[in-house]
Amino acid sequence: MMAAPTHQREMDMTDPVLTFIENGVGRIRLNRPRAIHALTPEMCVAIIDALLGWAKDDSVVAVMIDHLPAPDGDPKLSRGFCAGGDIALIARSAAADGVEAERFFSVEYRMNHLLFVYEKPIVAFMDGIVMGGGVGLSLPARYRVATERTSFAMPETGIGLFPDVGGGWYLPRLPGRTGAWLATTGARIDGADCIAVGIATHYMPSEALDAVKARILTDPFDLTLVLDAASIQPPPSKLQAARADIDRLFASDKAEEIVAALEADSGEWARKQASILRTKSPQTIKVALRQLVEGAAKPSFADNMAMEFGLACAVIRRPDFVEGVRAVIFDKDNAPRWTPATLEEVRDEMIDAIFAPLPPDRQWTPLPQLADA
């Protein structure tokens, strides 16, 4: 059930996401520090509800997305912008009938799409961990601020999933083969790397964020000037230094050819990447590579999200997702038993079946208010 517009009710500081208007700025503040602000369906609904209300409110000139630190200041509970979606909820549903998981994907993807087409400027402060659902929450923003604490990743192949929430749109549009590398290995990159490949638009020290947010609240019409004035030159990008190797060794859209190129290379970096790939789900490595090929050809973000919803509905019903979550999230033995166990055993027909369109009555659609966006 859709909640009442959060900007029209009293704010409860225990809510997992706070949405309110402050000095002409619509504020979205993630507030689940013990879960590194992982998104739930209810959080997505609250964000959708607030954004729709602010879109019609002339007093709101911009939107700001960030996270609240832990109330007690515990640094372990204050280290992330958003670690993703509530994977445990999705896995429990996937082990049953999958209905609740599909509902989650549907509402989250509608939120992603709404953010992507939103007409008012949005600034997302990507301070700390930005993974999975946090990527889908921040990359649609016009302004994306990274810091020295930013840790960005799409690690889904490590749990038998694929880089969703728009990964099929964003990743193939990064420079060279960066997207294929990120999608298959789940590599973590820092704030300087995010600037180097265009994931972030601004870089500033984390200690400056409170002052920058205060300046935005003082004059939200000058977002660009405020952010430009606070930005500093990031340190050298390690990703940029590896770009030639990434582009050369991840050049193929075929997983077996990528692995062969890595194993034929004598460099330490290549050996490390090959070792990492051997820990990931062979099935979803292949899904991710095809997802990027098809996502690059999609005419709109909505078309990409419809594709990803179909993939999500199929992948969660394959053994690897439940097994990956067991190994990484529940049992934490980090020893998933993938099915199939090797890339060679993942047949083309299996991937074709995962990409098969859903029946019309199950296909994802944008919010009714955005049907033409």
* 250 phi/psi in degrees, rounded to 5: -105, 25
Letter string b/e over residues 295-320, b meaning 16 or more CB atoms within 10 A of that residue's CB = beebeebbebbbbbbbbbbbbbebeb
> Per residue in 193-219, pLDDT tens?
999 999 999 999 999 999 999 999 999
Going by pLDDT thresholds of 50, 70 and 90, the confidence category of residue 12 is confident
Model-wide pTM > 0.85: yes
pLDDT in tens, 38-84: 999 999 999 999 999 999 999 999 999 999 987 766 666 567 899 99
CA distance 166 to 168: 5
pLDDT of residue 8: 44
Asked if the model's pLDDT at residue 228 lies above 80, the reply is: yes
- Band of pLDDT at residue 314, cut at 50, 70 and 90: very high
Please answer whether residues 226 and 169 qualify as being in contact, where contact means their C-beta atoms are separated by less than 8 angstroms. no
- Catalytic site includes residue 148: no
- Residue 85 designated active-site: yes
Q: Which of 53, 133, 191, 324 is catalytic?
A: 133
156 carries an active-site annotation: yes
Task: Give me the pLDDT at residue 79, please.
Answer: 78
**What is residue 3's predicted lDDT score, i.e. its pLDDT?**
36
Q: What residues form DSSP beta bridges with 36?
A: none
| Spans of all domains in the chain | 6-367
The predicted model gives 178-189 an average pLDDT of 98
Question: For the segment 78-114, what is each residue's pLDDT rounded down to a tens digit?
Answer: 678 999 998 989 999 999 999 999 999 999 999 999 9
Write down the mean pLDDT value for the chain: 94
> What span, in angstroms and rounded, lies between the C-alpha atoms of 118 and 55?
8
CATH architecture for residues 6-367:
Alpha-Beta Complex (3.90)
Q: Which of 102, 156, 320, 323 is catalytic?
A: 156
Q: What per-residue confidence (pLDDT) applies to 78? A: 65
- Please give the pLDDT value at position 70: 76
Inform me whether the pLDDT recorded for 352 exceeds 60: yes
Annotation says 176 is catalytic: no
Per-residue model confidence (pLDDT) at position 14: 85
| Choice among 53, 85, 166, 324 that is catalytic | 85
Question: Over pLDDT 90: what percentage of the chain?
Answer: 90
Q: What is the pLDDT of residue 10?
A: 58
Please tell me which residue, 7 or 258, carries the higher pLDDT value. Answer: 258
Mean pLDDT lowest among 86-100, 136-150, 267-281 = 86-100
